Structure 1
Amino acid sequence: MRTQQMNWIHSLLRENKDDDGPSEDLQDLRDRFDSFRELVEKNNEVLSLIGDMEEKAQGEYLFDIAYIRGCVSRLQDGVSTIVRLMIEQGGEEYETLRIRFTSITGQINNLLPGSDNQQGGPLILNFERINRVNSQSVGGKNAQLGEMRSMGLSVPEGFAITASAFRLFLDENQLNKRIQDTLSSLDIRNQNDLVAASETLRSLILSSPIPQVLSDSILAAFDELRQRTGDEFIALRSSAVGEDTLYSFAGQYISLLNVSRDSILDNYREILASKYSPRAIYYFLSHSLEEAGLLMSVGCIQLVNASVAGVIYSCDPLDSESDNILVNAVYGLGPYLVGGVLTPDVYKMHSASYEVTERLIHDKSVMLCPGDNGGTVERPVPEDLRRQPCLNDTQLAELGALASQLEEHYESPQDIEFAYDQDGRLFLLQSRPLRTVSTQTTLELPDMSDVTQLANGGVTVCPGAGSGRVIHVSGRDSLQDVEHGDVIVAANPFPSIVRVLDRVSAVVTEVGSCASHMAALVRENRIPTLAGLS
């Protein structure tokens, strides 16, 4: 049968020597065959490119945003050709592919940092008007708060000062060219030059007036929020465009808690200026991100006076196949957890039953609380609570169910911040993609029998092995002494460590956990890290 088919095709495609050329039907068949061959070749090219991207995503190779943009552009060109050829081959019934391709392309471009931001959009958006498609106008953090609110989940009241507001601030003060001129010649590996550039840009932001129309809009939105909640103080949280997407920007920008009406404008300007801190400049330039596309939005959010705050990982970032949910929690407000000031309680539970399978309870001697007149203050944890679990099984089951719901909704593992207020009500404060890393179980450990052990314990933040000169760091000023291949040791993790992650072989901290901002950064950079060795 196959021989007969091949003979038929051969006879059909064979030109008749007596003819001036192939018949019209034969030429049509040849054209369709050439089109189909191009379709197959283009499909193979796209599959090869996807395979290369999947290999890079495993964490064994370094790549930057330029690689991602290049691959996305080539994928879009390739798939566009495939769609065109399928419509040519199959007719109008395949036109729906073009519609779906346009929709998916728009969604992908919206996720890439530095995509075109809305021009002339609203200066203020209330959370009830926001969902995740608004990330280019309100940043990733605000967009996800609006998305969770639309899901019916418990999210604090609030509003976003949009990216358009920041654009207005820059335009009215004629800052764009001065910012670009400062950054264009900057060598980010020169610590002195990096700090000098940061001081210049921060000074520009802090000394520039907020346009009257923007300041009036912010104060009016504050008054409306206060009327709804009855609260005199709010939280201001950075929510830059591009944040919490392909790159986390974890801890690179500041957020301010317990802010009054009298200080909201100055505090808003402080958050704008944090975009140009040394660590933030290093982060976005080292990842080849375009500064002009990373507009700063700010979330103005009802302050949750937390009795307990924490972070949920909807899966174990070091073992995503294990069916585990991880919860880290401390007493009081969350910055002492994500900032690495305290080693939190850690709970591991099964993702189906929410049964707690492991508890690591630490001494929580202090907590961060709202100050009576604004700002935050450190207070001692009552002696009878310090070594007690700060979450009970009912609360953990509630958190586990929410983690599963959000992972299903976003179709990917999630890193979720939460807080219980003084009345025991749960609020969700953030949800962003959780970066997971694969653990190489085949790693052969060296013989350590004749080596003096300096410390043990702690938690693995990012797996691997590293060795080199040990250098103790305590803040950004001490980072200038770090050389290539060093192992850095710190009492607490701090976000400025991002400035040396391209040259260190390992990180060790006395306090901290796998849920701090620094933990997200070292996992992004695949740096072997231990935390909580105290």
Structure 2
Amino acid sequence: MSRNLPDWIVDLSTPASIAGLGKKAANLAELAAAVEGARTPRGFALPGATLAPFIHGYRREISSILRSGLSSSRTHREIEALMAAAAPPLVDGLVELLDDRFDAGTLFAVRSSAHPVVGGVQIAEDSEEHSLAGQYSSFLRVPREHVPQAVARCCASLFNARSIEIFDVANDESYLDSTMTVLVQEMVEASVSGVMMTLDPIAAADGTNVLGIEAAYGACEAIVAGKTQGDLMLVDRASRAVVERQIGSKRWRVELPVYSGSDAGESLVPVPDSLRSVFALSPDEVAAIAELGLRIESHFGPPQDIEFVLDARRNVVITQARPITTLTKENSQ
């Protein structure tokens, strides 16, 4: 029988899990609880307050490394090695919880939701003001025994090369007050994945009120990282009619390795011509995804940048939703 959750962890499928989480985690929790038809991956979050003692316990060592004169990438490697060698103490309890709640052999996505402090002010990842998309680490297809190390590496990514450089971390003592929420979710093996802008920024700049969807086969990393050209669909936001469809090359899909503690590279696998020549999403799926996207926007307010996957049964699962930060205030109304 499944036991109750300990007080240092929150369920990402209940409204009670929203408070105290980073924006990424809070959005997913709120979606699962409040938006009709929105599926999100099952899982939990370790809030910033839970992981703060672990992160701040290395304050002196991290400060010394930041001031050592190493390159930003070498600095991150040193900090990551330090923190990954001793995962957060509470995470061992998380592994037991995962054993209790999920089938043997389940793989997990371990994802960051940061609370960086810059100039003494905490900023929110995936907020309207700060996207910070892709800035902090996530680890996919993680076996339960490697979850503790992946959590520690997410925490260490507060001090990755990009953050060190853009936030001038070595000269901002307050950045050491930053914390990290880490999401641990069941990995959804994607048959199709995509990105949806509930108000397409390029079209909006010309005064056109359409929603944009790009979709391809396999994991969403292929689209997000620009490794393949997905199909493009533009949907009129008022009538819900598809006003433009372009079939993408979909030459590659990304194949993700099982995480083993190191950064084994992903593989690009050729997509058969028979699949490349047809749209990855059916017309009914496009309509359902667009409708869901507009419900999500209606709930949160501003137009949304949404990542989604279709699982093996072609159920739509939302893996991320955040405000679009490239719209002008006039275009986002």
TM-score range, shorter chain: 0.7 to 0.9
- Deviation readout 1:310-366 (Å, 9 max, x if unpaired): 111010213434210001111001111112222222211101222111122221122
* Structure 1 match to 2:246: 360
Q: One-letter code of the match for 2:245?
A: R
Kindly indicate whether the alpha-carbon contact (under 8 Å) linking 2:211 and 2:235 is maintained by their aligned counterparts in 1.
yes
1:74-473 equivalence runs, <5 A: 122-130=7-15, 133-134=18-19, 137-151=20-34, 152=36, 153-171=38-56, 174-183=57-66, 193-207=71-85, 209-212=86-89, 214-227=90-103, 232-241=106-115, 242-245=124-127, 246-285=129-168, 290-320=174-204, 321-369=207-255, 371=257, 377-437=267-327
Q: One-letter code of the match for 2:102?
A: R
- Size of the alignment, in residue pairs? 305
Deviation of residue 421 (structure 1)?
Answer: 0.9
Q: One-letter code of the match for 2:71?
A: D
Task: With the length of structure 2 as denominator, give the TM-score of the two structures.
Answer: 0.82
- Any stretches of 5+ residues in structure 2 without a counterpart? 1-5, 116-123
- Deviation readout 1:185-212 (Å, 9 max, x if unpaired): 599xxxx6323432332232223x1243
Percent pairwise identity = 27
Task: With the length of structure 1 as denominator, give the TM-score of the two structures.
Answer: 0.53
Q: Which has the higher strand share?
A: 2
Kindly indicate whether the alpha-carbon contact (under 8 Å) linking 1:249 and 1:283 is maintained by their aligned counterparts in 2.
no
- Deviation readout 1:266-291 (Å, 9 max, x if unpaired): 222222222222113223448x8952
1:357 and 1:264 map into 2 onto residues whose CA distance is: 44
2:40 and 2:88 map into 1 onto residues whose CA distance is: 30
1:170 and 1:289 map into 2 onto residues whose CA distance is: 14
Deviation of residue 128 (structure 1)?
Answer: 2.9
Higher relative contact order (CA 8 A, sep 6+): 2
* Partner SS, residue 219 of structure 2: coil
2:52 and 2:317 map into 1 onto residues whose CA distance is: 31
- Deviation readout 1:234-289 (Å, 9 max, x if unpaired): 11111112210121111111211111112212222222222222113223448x89
CA RMSD of aligned residues (A): 2.7
Q: Which has the higher helix share?
A: 1
2:41 and 2:197 map into 1 onto residues whose CA distance is: 21
- Deviation readout 1:417-458 (Å, 9 max, x if unpaired): 11111211111111101013459xxxxxxxxxxxxxxxxxxx
Deviation of residue 233 (structure 1)?
Answer: 1.1
* Partner SS, residue 273 of structure 2: coil
Q: One-letter code of the match for 2:307?
A: E
Q: One-letter code of the match for 1:426?
A: V
Change (3 A) 1:200 1:259: closer
Q: One-letter code of the match for 2:310?
A: Y
Kindly indicate whether the alpha-carbon contact (under 8 Å) linking 2:200 and 2:211 is maintained by their aligned counterparts in 1.
yes
Kindly indicate whether the alpha-carbon contact (under 8 Å) linking 1:419 and 1:427 is maintained by their aligned counterparts in 2.
yes
Q: One-letter code of the match for 1:389?
A: F
Kindly indicate whether the alpha-carbon contact (under 8 Å) linking 2:143 and 2:258 is maintained by their aligned counterparts in 1.
no
Change (3 A) 1:250 1:385: same
Change (3 A) 1:372 1:257: closer
2:155 and 2:209 map into 1 onto residues whose CA distance is: 40
1:186 and 1:428 map into 2 onto residues whose CA distance is: 42
* Structure 1 match to 2:121: none
Change (3 A) 1:329 1:186: farther
Kindly indicate whether the alpha-carbon contact (under 8 Å) linking 2:106 and 2:186 is maintained by their aligned counterparts in 1.
no
Deviation of residue 146 (structure 1)?
Answer: 0.4
2:15 and 2:136 map into 1 onto residues whose CA distance is: 22
